[in-house]
Amino acid sequence: MSAPGRVKARAVDMRVKIGPMTLRNPVLTASGTFGYGDEYAHVVDLERLGGVITKTVTLKPRAGNPPVRIAETPSGMLNSIGLENVGLVRFRAEKLPRLASLKATVVASIGGETPRELAKLLEALGSEPGIAGFEINFSCPNVARGGARYWAVPRRLERTMKLLRPLTHGALIAKLSPDVTSVGDLAIACEQGRADAVTAVNTFVGMAVDLDHMRHRLNRATGGLSGPAIKPLALARCHEAASAVRIPVVGSGGIMSGRDALEFIAVGASAVQVGTASFVRPRASADVLEEMTAYLGDRGVKSLESWRGGLAAGAARRPAVPATGGRRGSA
């Protein structure tokens, strides 16, 4: 943030292009952490965000997993929601009109158990004027079928992306699981399937045990780990994905502040997602954007794109811009 008395930081061009979609800035809300947009609309000016990624919608409504669905762990949380959502019919009838009225850039997250299910969703939603793009949830760790493990096969991903590509003129983003041998290989498969971007990464599979009662803390034993605990892991996956492909990478995992977000941009991400932070502070996404812009503005950066990737593989080993003193990077 600017020191008191300093002239207002110069405007930074924060725009990001993802396929056919131009975001006003790189801050997106992570799917499943921001509802359908309107739940937090009274505390966050959605129009100012890069975009809102809605809760994953599936063909049929899903009730989600039985309780217990949440367990807090050191610097993180496990969730086993199980893709609870209202289903395609109610999404179209009830959510889309409200989303359109929000004036936000909307990216709809869709999930399916098979390539055919995803195609059906995109056939229904692909031409909706209120949706700028789609994030394909290839990485839910909490469902019995069509979850992260099913989709962690490069050839399946490539074939699916090729199947989906003709069904929309909107952006297609593939959200990848980190629990794979090589997230880079999955990213390449998506790129070859003509995805516009990949998101690295969804939650990590984790487990928590209640030793005194000798039981799992989550009903399904495992859940997806998110929050600050996964940031170093996510950064490495994001760096790997960004090194592997030429399409934009959306960084995600444990981003709580503008500095966190810029670390992802530094290792090669073009945009970022704020997730668990919104549960802690509903305004987190707006705050992240403000902090990012102030950090870059204070350093005289003219555009995010010119600053991006200072620590990406192959980047020259130098700071992208001289630091202007003050805080050093956190250890």
Binding site for another protein (CB under 8 A): 32-36, 39-40, 42-43, 61, 63-64, 66-72, 75-77, 79, 81, 84, 86, 90, 94-95, 227-228, 276, 278-283
**Secondary structure (3-state) at 46:** helix
- In the residue annotation, 190 being an active-site residue is answered as no
Cis peptide before 198 (omega within 30 of 0): no
Structure tokens at 121: 């969703």
- Nearer CB in complex with another protein: 131/208: 208
The Cα–Cα gap between 184 and 200 comes to: 10
- Nearer CB in complex with another protein: 75/127: 75
| DSSP string across 212-248 | TTTEESSTTSEEEEESGGGHHHHHHHHHHHHHH-SS-
- Shortest separation between residue 80's beta carbon and another protein, angstroms: 9
- Shortest separation between residue 326's beta carbon and another protein, angstroms: 19
| The residue type at 260 | D
- Nearer CB in complex with another protein: 92/302: 92
DSSP classification of residue 93: I
The Cα–Cα gap between 289 and 103 comes to: 18
Cis peptide before 301 (omega within 30 of 0): no
- Shortest separation between residue 84's beta carbon and another protein, angstroms: 5
- Nearer CB in complex with another protein: 96/152: 96
Pick the catalytic residue from 136, 140, 195, 261.
Answer: 140
- Shortest separation between residue 77's beta carbon and another protein, angstroms: 6
- Nearer CB in complex with another protein: 29/270: 29
Length of the chain: 331
CA atoms within 13 A on the CB side of 156: 15
- Shortest separation between residue 66's beta carbon and another protein, angstroms: 7
DSSP β-ladder status, 222-226 and 76-79: antiparallel
DSSP β-ladder status, 51-53 and 106-110: parallel
Name the residues annotated as catalytic. 140
